[in-house]
Structures are given as structure tokens and as C-alpha cells.
Amino acid sequence: MTPVLKLAAFLGVLAVVFGAAALAGAGIGPEPERAAATDEHGAMPAVADPVRGLAVADDGLRVVVDEPELARGREQTLRFRVVDDRGATVRDFDVEHERRMHLIVARRDLTGFQHLHPEQAADGSWSTPVRLDAAGSYRMFADFSHGGEAQTLATDLRVDGATDLEDLPAPATTAVSDGGYDVRLDAGASAPGEEAHLRFQIRSRGKPVRTEPYLGAGGHLVALREGDLAFLHVHPLSDDAVEFGATFPTAGRYRLFLQFQHDGHVQTVAFTHEVR
């Protein structure tokens, strides 16, 4: 056989070998990929809701605060707007939890929590009175829905003065609200990426309390992650019971701020919850 014929025969054998390998790979390739995407029972793993509240702009929208520098211990008017990528003020918002805008303010050490409901002016801007009694850096969350899409945009507010930051309290199952109600958290173990069932039992002077509707449910819960103050989506599991579902994206400690209404007054109570 001439050298040319030998080379042609060798190339032909290589083509057959590589063709067979490609067919075998097509036949068995998807199985390892499927195994990596499912658990031992063939079920897809839980996927956490997107973490929100880490940026001043997202999905073509941005929050703009007129004056982020606030005086300590004095009520002032906080004004802000939501603008699109052209800089035009957004005016149309969906009703979520009985409001078109929820404003959450908390200091960077997760103290000084406030849940406010601003009013919208004719020009599309929002305003609300606010009082911050302690100096430091605060995180402001504009939580709303626009065009059927939930959004949480965040930016910083500043209060001048000497700052005495507080350590996050250790995790506990009981706490007392700002109005003296005893509250117990039943949560069990929480794992990253899996929905946790958070149930709160409320008592006043030793007797169980049935809460009144607040923002369309038995209570309202905000969860913020220690460190970056990521804002987590929490949804009520019942219209009357104080129960919530939350998917924590990472291990670590989270501060839970529960608000409920009883005898016409809104109460606030906070818990530290650890996910591991």
C-alpha cells in the first residue's frame, strides 16, 4: 500500500472512532446533567427568590432622594422619586398589601426600623415625614410593584453625629413588642434555599391575642440580612393567622421585623433568626 493510501485509511479509521464517540456521548450525556440538577429522589432543588434591595437601580428603574442628609432627632420630610432609564419620573404603581408604596428605613446595624407609607404628589414624587433619633448611616428601601413586577430599590440616608453601633442580638424565640406584647417565634431549623415556615404567637397579659387585619393580612414581616441588608421577599401564608413563608438565600443571621395590629394600634417586634 502506498503512503498516500495508508494515510487515507488511517484518517478513515479516525472518522469512524470519533463518530462512534459522538453518538455514545449523545446517548449518555444528558444523564449526568440530570443527576446534577436533581436530588436523590429525582426532584428539582428549591430555588430562592431573587435577593432585592442591594442596588439603587434595577431593571431600568432608579430611586432618587432629594436630600439624603437628615438632622438628628427632628421630624423632617423625606422626598424621593422613582425614575426610568431616561430620567423620567415613574407615576404608575400597582397596589401591593393595600398600598402603592412601602418605605422601609433601618440603620446599618439593623436598629431604628420604620415602615412608612409615603404619599404621592401630582408630579409623581413621594414624600413622608420621618424622624431619626440616632446618628449613623441608614438604608432606605422603596418597596413597590410596577407593571406587575415587584421591585425593591435602596439607597443610603445619613444622620450626622457620633455613632454608637449596636451588636445584633443573639437568636431567640421570644421577644417583646414596642407596646408590651409577648411574641413567640416558631420556626424550627432554616436552611439556605428552602422555604421556612415562620409562625408567630402573640399574647397580652398572658392571654392569646387575635390580631386585626394589617395591610391585608394578620401581620406584615420584613426580613433583612446581616451585613449587606439584603431585603427578602416574605409572603403571608394566611389572611388572618400570623404565619409567613420565607426563602433565605444564604446561611447567616437575619433580622425579622414583625408588625401586627391590635386594638387599633400597630405593634413592632424584632427577632434575630439564624440560617445554617
- DSSP codes, 194-248: SEEEEEEEEEETTEE--PBPBTTBS-EEEEEETTT-PEEPEEES-SSS-EEEEE-
Mark whether 81 and 13 lie in a shared domain.
no
Q: In the prediction, which pLDDT does 238 show?
A: 85
Provide the pairing of β-strand 231-232 with 182-186.
Answer: unpaired
CB 200 within 8 A of CB 219: yes
CA distance 108 to 66: 21
- The answer as to whether 51 is a domain residue is no
Placement of cell 428549591 in the chain: 46
CA distance 57 to 83: 9
Q: In the prediction, which pLDDT does 42 show?
A: 44
Mark whether 184 and 271 lie in a shared domain.
yes
CA distance 6 to 18: 19
**Whole-model pTM?**
0.81
CA distance 32 to 125: 53
Mark whether 151 and 61 lie in a shared domain.
yes
Give the gyration radius of the chain's Cα atoms.
27
* Opening angle at CA 112, ends 255 and 134, nearest 5: 140
- In the chain, % helix, strand, coil (3-state, to 5) comes to 10, 45, 45
Q: In the prediction, which pLDDT does 52 show?
A: 87
Considering its fold, how many domains does the chain have in total?
A: 3
- The answer as to whether 81 is a domain residue is yes
10-residue mean pLDDT profile of the chain (276 residues): values are: 44 41 39 38 46 92 98 97 98 95 98 97 98 97 96 97 94 97 95 96 97 93 97 86 94 98 97 97
Q: In the prediction, which pLDDT does 241 show?
A: 85
At residue 250, what are phi and psi to the nearest 5 degrees? -140, 165
Q: In the prediction, which pLDDT does 49 show?
A: 56
Which amino acid makes up residue 222? V
- The answer as to whether 9 is a domain residue is yes
Print the domain residue range for 178: 174-275
CA distance 10 to 238: 72
Q: In the prediction, which pLDDT does 235 show?
A: 85
Placement of cell 432543588 in the chain: 45
Domain boundary among 116, 135, 159: 159
Which CA distances in Å does 201 have to 164, 218, 243, 269? 33, 11, 9, 12
Mark whether 30 and 87 lie in a shared domain.
no
Which CA distances in Å does 49 have to 43, 52, 99, 176, 193? 18, 9, 22, 30, 8
CATH number of 211's domain: 2.60.40.3340
Give kind and range of the element (H or E) at residue 187. none
CA distance 276 to 248: 10
Beta bridge partners of 120: 126
Mark whether 87 and 138 lie in a shared domain.
yes
CA distance 152 to 154: 7
Domain boundary among 103, 133, 159: 159
Mark whether 63 and 155 lie in a shared domain.
yes
